[in-house]
Amino acid sequence: MSDYQNDGSGNDKKKPKNSGPQFPFGGPKLPDPKKFGGWRFSIVYILILVVGMSLFNYVFLNKVNPTIDFSEFKNKIVSGEIKRVEMTDSYFTGYTAAQKTVAPTPGLRNPYGSSPDAIFRTVPLNDPDIIKLMDEKGVSYYAVSREGSTVLNLIFSWVLPIAFFFFIWRFLMKRLGNMGGNVLSVGQNRAVIVAEGDIVTRFPDVAGVDEAKDELVEVVDFLKNPKKYTDIGGKIPKGVLLVGPPGTGKTLLARAVAGEAGVSFFRMSGADFVEMFVGVGAARVRDLFKQAREKAPCIVFIDELDAIGKSRLNNIAGGNDEREQTLNQLLVEMDGFDATSGLIILAATNRPDVLDPALLRPGRFDRQVLVDRPDLKGREAILRIHAKAVKLDPQVDLAAVARGTPGFVGADLANIVNEAALLAVRGGRQVVSQKDFEEAIEKTVAGLEQKNRIISDDERRIVAFHETGHALVAAFTPGSDPVQKISIVPRGFGALGYTLQMPVEDRYLMTEDELLGKIDVLLGGRAAEELVFSRISTGAANDLTKATDIARKMITDYGMSARFKNVALTQRGAGMMGGAAQEPMFHREYSEATQQYIDEEIARMVETRYAGVKDTLKQRRDLLDLVGAQLLEKETLDEKEFKGLIGQPVAAV
């Protein structure tokens, strides 16, 4: 067996030096129990092995009959029961048949080539009389030399057990090596990493994620005409991170970028890099980039970046060396290549929150593209793409299907089209009908509900009016940033809906009125809920936190309260060096009584603002109902649609 290949990753001390079959149990590093099925299983394998070996020996190398006493053996000769005796160094074997007969399975049951007749076996004593006795009784006797059975002996006692071990070992390596990883070729890339040329996916194959597409069009242009950018001295981005929930089409988009640019496509999943042995993942990263540089211009796509890119800071108890090294290598490679070389790295994740901040620094994944769940129009477009592959009944209304699938992502919709086609086949129909679609939706919804990904109609109504509340208050609060988009499509990470406001200009200073306006907009969501439904929900928790925060800062930091006008109550200390959060530490420099005043003042301020906001909305109840209903139907409203609904907003810029 050859040595483990090290290619200078600098972790010699942990490198398994193996001569002879390398057994994974002695490996240098415990596998991650969750990942590889666990150490526990290895012990189970050992047990199976030991038991198997014993059985093997018992069945194949031992004669079936137990040994009998030498005296009994002699008696059986005297009584004439034994007619023939086979003698070896270790055993005398007596047979009841005088002639050797051929065993039905020669060599297996009785490896010494004996007959399957009744057999008596004994351990020989140095008894010179025995030969005489046998002569007297006419028993035929002969000795079998070990030579005669060497081959069989060898096979049974050596070759088979070794083969047995070998297969078990191979089996284990397969499991541990993450599907097909052979310990001998560890560190080299496996077939997965081959570049794909001639990608057929194009942007029109992806729908419902127009904003993401707009941003990626530019990436395609970088790949096609890098000179255009470098001539001016512009820097081409090296890494683009696609962020969004599973199934929204991140992988598809990455392929489309490669397809549109006509470059090769390297795809690897973050999980592929995470290996049992330290250094292997790093070696793979190195190899991947080496190959990619040779193939440039090309796209390297790392799916599930979070598998290697988890923040190193949160690693309590030492963390995972292997992953850390892999991540470091990735950072090194990303810093190492020249942006003009035509190599662009795309990565996808649905957990941007856990990524190591180092990955997001300039020169690495400094561009982030949100790939969000599709809205009504987007879902219809996605359905159209996938419906092209099936024969549709002309009656089918895909818009209706889209309306019935709020919260579904592209992968779910592709699945529904396929499911509907299967139902049609099962029903013996030639084309897919609307009913098939309805049934397919029902089936899928049940599955998604279990995963908690479907919001009920009631919840959607609440979210719609909540967001409308934010938007209306923003529109009617002078000096507030204009509303850019309102949406009730659940946004990636926790938010059930959102209202986007675009600041007109960069703000370094904010006036007291503007701060109060911000509080108003934040409170607008809950106020609308209360007005429309006469009850409030937990959906406003985040808004309230932010509103309270602003109110607190106004009192403690900006000196905007009645009692402590122009007094800053907190002292800014120096930030903690190198801390994860760069928040400076604040010292509280006031008494308990002041604290109580602050708390009361916050409550009073928020309450006053809330009453005002409710008033604003009450006066525009018709607009609230109108916009809310429209939002519920269309799921997203852009600036123009929103302004059209409410007439020209009062808010002047």
Q: Would you please indicate which residues are annotated as catalytic (active-site) residues?
A: 467
Integer Cα distance of 460 and 635 in angstroms: 9
Shortest CB 251 distance to ligand ADP, Å: 3
Structure tokens at 272: 């592929």
Question: Residue 250 annotated as binding?
Answer: yes
Write the secondary structure of 296-332 as one string of H (helix), E (strand) and C (coil).
CCEEEEEECCHHHHECCCCCCCCCCHHHHHHHHHHHH
Letters for 250-269 (x = contact with Mg ion by CB under 5 A, - = none) are: -x------------------
Q: Pick from 139, 396, 414, 423 the residue near ligand ADP by CB under 6 A.
A: 414
Show Cβ contacts of residue 267 under 8 Å, excluding neighbours closer than 6 positions.
192, 196, 251, 254, 301, 303
Q: Pick from 74, 250, 267, 364 the residue near ligand ADP by CB under 6 A.
A: 250
Part of the chain binding ligand ADP (CB under 6 A), chosen from 18-26, 250-258, 275-283, 293-301 = 250-258
Shortest CB 442 distance to ligand ADP, Å: 20
The count of residues interacting with Mg ion (CB under 5 A) is: 1
- 393, 414, 419, 426, 441 from 429: Cα distances, Å: 10, 20, 14, 8, 18
Structure tokens at 339: 């942006």
Question: Residue 405 annotated as binding?
Answer: no
Question: Residue 244 annotated as binding?
Answer: yes
For 67-149, where are the alpha helices, taking DSSP H only? 70-78, 129-137
Q: Which is nearer to Mg ion, 251 or 636 (CB)?
A: 251
From ligand ADP, Mg ion, Zn ion, none, interface partner of 543 (C-beta below 5 to 8 A by class) = Zn ion
Closest CA to 156 of 54, 50, 60, 59: 60
Q: Pick from 82, 130, 206, 471 the residue near ligand ADP by CB under 6 A.
A: 206
Q: Which is nearer to ligand ADP, 420 or 550 (CB)?
A: 420
C-alpha 482: how far from its chain's center? 38
Per-residue exposure over 62-89, b if at least 16 CB sit within 10 Å of its own CB, e if not: ebeeebeeeeebbebbeeeebbbbbbee
Letters for 294-333 (x = contact with ligand ADP by CB under 6 A, - = none) are: ----------------------------------------
From Zn ion, Mg ion, ligand ADP, none, interface partner of 247 (C-beta below 5 to 8 A by class) = ligand ADP
Shortest CB 304 distance to Mg ion, Å: 7
Dihedral class, residue 625 (left if φ above 0, else alpha if ψ from -120 to 50, else beta): alpha
Part of the chain binding ligand ADP (CB under 6 A), chosen from 40-48, 246-254, 273-281, 609-617 = 246-254
Show Cβ contacts of residue 593 under 8 Å, excluding neighbours closer than 6 positions.
none
Part of the chain binding ligand ADP (CB under 6 A), chosen from 201-209, 393-401, 520-528, 541-549 = 201-209
Shortest CB 649 distance to Zn ion, Å: 19
Shortest CB 413 distance to ligand ADP, Å: 7
From ligand ADP, Zn ion, Mg ion, none, interface partner of 31 (C-beta below 5 to 8 A by class) = none
**How many Cα atoms sit within 13 Å of 96 on the Cβ side?**
7
Across the strands, what pairs with 638?
485
- Residue 111 touching ligand ADP (CB under 6 A): no
Question: Residue 135 annotated as binding?
Answer: no
DSSP 182: -
- Residue 251 touching ligand ADP (CB under 6 A): yes
- Residue 385 touching ligand ADP (CB under 6 A): yes
Q: Pick from 382, 454, 488, 527 the residue near ligand ADP by CB under 6 A.
A: 382
Show Cβ contacts of residue 413 under 8 Å, excluding neighbours closer than 6 positions.
374, 379, 382, 383, 386, 405
From Mg ion, Zn ion, ligand ADP, none, interface partner of 411 (C-beta below 5 to 8 A by class) = ligand ADP
Question: Residue 386 annotated as binding?
Answer: no
For 504-620, where are the alpha helices, taking DSSP H only? 512-533, 541-556, 592-619
Shortest CB 503 distance to ligand ADP, Å: 29
Integer Cα distance of 226 and 323 in angstroms: 33
Q: What is the sign, positive or negative, of the torsion defined by CA atoms of 177, 182, 184, 188?
A: negative
Largest CA distance in the chain: 129
The count of residues interacting with ligand ADP (CB under 6 A) is: 17
Q: Pick from 53, 103, 144, 411 the residue near ligand ADP by CB under 6 A.
A: 411
Contact 501, 484 (CB under 8 A): yes
Q: Which is nearer to Mg ion, 306 or 481 (CB)?
A: 306
Contact 177, 183 (CB under 8 A): yes
Amino acid (1-letter code) at residue 537 = S
Q: Which is nearer to Mg ion, 253 or 523 (CB)?
A: 253
Structure tokens at 354: 């856990």
For 477-540, where are the alpha helices, taking DSSP H only? 512-533
Shortest CB 208 distance to ligand ADP, Å: 5
Letters for 212-251 (x = contact with Mg ion by CB under 5 A, - = none) are: ---------------------------------------x
Contact 503, 489 (CB under 8 A): no
Q: Which residues bind Zn ion (CB under 5 A)?
A: 525, 543
Q: Pick from 181, 187, 259, 410 the residue near ligand ADP by CB under 6 A.
A: 410
Question: Residue 281 annotated as binding?
Answer: no
- Residue 247 touching ligand ADP (CB under 6 A): yes
Write the secondary structure of 403-459 as one string of H (helix), E (strand) and C (coil).
HCCCCCCHHHHHHHHHHHHHHHHHCCCCCECHHHHHHHHHHHHHHHHHCCCCCCHHH
From Mg ion, Zn ion, ligand ADP, none, interface partner of 207 (C-beta below 5 to 8 A by class) = ligand ADP
What are the binding residues for ATP?
Answer: 244-251
Positions that interact with ligand ADP (CB under 6 A): 206-209, 246-252, 348, 382, 385, 410-411, 414
Positions that interact with Mg ion (CB under 5 A): 251
